[in-house]
Structure 1
Amino acid sequence: MQPDSSTGLNGKGQDLKIVSLISIGQHPASGRARRAEQDGRAVELGMTLAASSSTQNLTVLHAGDSQQAALRSYAGMGLESVRVLQLRESADAVKTLSEYLHKHAPDIILTGVRAESGESSGMMPYLLGESLGWPVVSRIADIVSIKEGVAEILQALPRGQRRALTVRLPFIASVDNAAPEPRQSAFGPANRAFMEQQQCHSEPDTARNGWSIVSARKRPKRLKIVKAKTAADRFKAATAKPQGAGGKIMKNQPAAEQAQAIFDLLLEEGVLR
């Protein structure tokens, strides 16, 4: 799809078609269904972009059960409607979303980095990008400007750093926790919003049927044994910030050599056994 050019976030020129994908979140302590934190930030960013357009062409889209009460938390951010592609729990949402997005051809698709419930693999934006043939920008903090069909994006890096990127529309972006916090959800707008249901033909996720889902557990941190002669040296070693030494940048090496380096690192870190 060849996107129309736009002049940026000033509300002039070609209007943008934005889709923010949402999912059902899960509170880390109580386990209750809620608005997913990163998906809420994706909706907040979509509303900011849509506010610069005269038509405010933002679609908040969910694939699943329209009766989930947590969807009202997104609507309470000030949305007039939430569109739901009605699917069974065992259905594969990727194919249904791909068909919908291919048909409606938005300019920007915003998602969270990963869901808070279900598989939580973080593969959704990449699978959609592969299906649609669009570029994927991971962990963005903000979209600074859009001009002549090219978006300037700030990508979130560790320790508060940012990387400036440019990408041509259309594209998919996963929104990091560094993005602006979502606005509070109000009870009145949440109840007044229209839940637009769309029945879809779905195929069962055959691979998922054989899985057993358990709660994720944090891996223990690797202890670094420091031999120090004095108490001051031991205190300095214990409070020192970890350094990013030992990294390796590979740009011009053959693909096979780069793949082998990644494989060796996974073996060294114990990810592969």
Structure 2
Amino acid sequence: MKALVLLSDGRHPVSGRPAPAGTELQAIALARGLTEEVAGLYAGPDAAAARTALGHGLARLEHRRLPEGDDPLPSLAAAIAAAAPDLVLAGRRAGAGAQTGLVPYQLAEALGWPLVPDVVALTVADGVLEAVQALPKGARRRWRVKLPALVTVHPAAPVAASFAIGMARSGHVEDAPGIDAPQDGTALEERPYRPRPRLIASAAAGASAAERLKAATQSAGPGGRVMVDPTPEEAARAILEHLRALGVLKPAPGRD
């Protein structure tokens, strides 16, 4: 059985240095639980972060070189078709960049493979993959799909193996040109914030025109005021007045 793990150009959230995404390293651990023949695949300009994954259990890494900003999907699909793995694993989203999490789904659609998201455990028997999927509130669901298949790994999966310098040095990196696929940049327009008109939700369907107009124009609650650099006493007094206007506190003594 052959397993392939998709890697991204991840960055450490604090230092900003190249580092694989946590779920990608967990994917390597899940794959090694099924077979010793686990390879990595990365498509992009710089494979510094992907090379680090060699120390976590990858036997080799295939790097498809692409210019900065190119779409990696055609290169990934071509590399997978050439390698013909039984199972492809990926993290929930990339370790840096846009982090849309859509690449595994687009790749499964391009290959015509089934995809199981948010996997925490895997077993294979007689060409059938049995995957345990993580659901909200700790629930689990079991899937059985025919290989080849693609899965994404949930953070609740078993922890990744520790980094081993010996494995990192013995791992082999294969560089190959990717398929150029420039992406058209989406034009962005920046505009100042403008309040949207309020929907008429509080007036009943059979209300009069005056009641509907009042519901559309009246304030949702007591108004407030902007205070710039107030003294502590002024700020406290304004907060108390606002709470009394809301009815949270009782009126001040001596007031009706």
1:43 to 28, 41, 45: 28
Provide closer, same or farther for how the CA distance between residues 116 and 80 of structure 1 changes in structure 2, counting only shifts above 3 A: closer
Mapping for residues 84-95 of structure 1, pairs under 5 Å: 84-95=63-74
Give SS of 1:62's match. strand
Partner of 2:77: 98
Is residue 2:45 matched to residue 1:65? yes
RMSD of Structure 2 on Structure 1 (CA): 1.9
Give SS of 2:175's match. strand
Q: Distance in 1 between matches of 2:130 and 2:167?
A: 32
Mapping for residues 177-196 of structure 1, pairs under 5 Å: 177-196=155-174
Partner of 1:79: 58
Partner of 1:173: 151
TM-score for both structures, normalised by structure 1: 0.64
Unmatched tracts of structure 2, length 5 or more: 190-256
Provide closer, same or farther for how the CA distance between residues 211 and 132 of structure 1 changes in structure 2, counting only shifts above 3 A: farther
Contact 2:56 2:164 in 1 (8 A): yes
- Superposed displacement of residue 201, structure 1: 3.0
Q: Distance in 2 between matches of 1:131 and 1:207?
A: 22
Q: Over residues 184-209 of structure 1, what are the superposed CA-to-partner deviations in whole Å (9 max), with x where a residue is unaligned?
A: 1123332332221111231212246x
Contact 2:5 2:28 in 1 (8 A): yes
Contact 2:28 2:57 in 1 (8 A): no
Q: Distance in 2 between matches of 1:93 and 1:25?
A: 15
- Superposed displacement of residue 86, structure 1: 1.1
Contact 1:42 1:110 in 2 (8 A): yes
Partner of 1:202: 180
- Superposed displacement of residue 40, structure 1: 0.7
Bigger CA radius of gyration: 2
Is residue 2:95 matched to residue 1:116? yes
Provide closer, same or farther for how the CA distance between residues 50 and 95 of structure 1 changes in structure 2, counting only shifts above 3 A: same
Give SS of 2:167's match. helix
Give SS of 2:19's match. strand
Q: Distance in 2 between matches of 1:193 and 1:175?
A: 23
Q: Distance in 1 between matches of 2:139 and 2:126?
A: 27
Partner of 1:3: none
Partner of 1:133: 112
Contact 2:70 2:180 in 1 (8 A): yes
Give SS of 2:56's match. coil
Q: Over residues 145-168 of structure 1, what are the superposed CA-to-partner deviations in whole Å (9 max), with x where a residue is unaligned?
A: 222221111001123221111111
Give SS of 1:26's match. coil
Query: Size of the alignment, in residue pairs?
Result: 189
Unmatched tracts of structure 1, length 5 or more: 1-15, 213-273
TM-score for both structures, normalised by structure 2: 0.68
Contact 2:9 2:44 in 1 (8 A): no
Give SS of 1:24's match. coil
1:32 to 17, 41, 61: 17
Provide closer, same or farther for how the CA distance between residues 107 and 207 of structure 1 changes in structure 2, counting only shifts above 3 A: farther
Q: Distance in 1 between matches of 2:2 and 2:64?
A: 18
Displaced runs of 4+ in structure 1, greater than 6 A?
none
Contact 1:98 1:131 in 2 (8 A): yes
Q: Distance in 1 between matches of 2:84 and 2:135?
A: 30
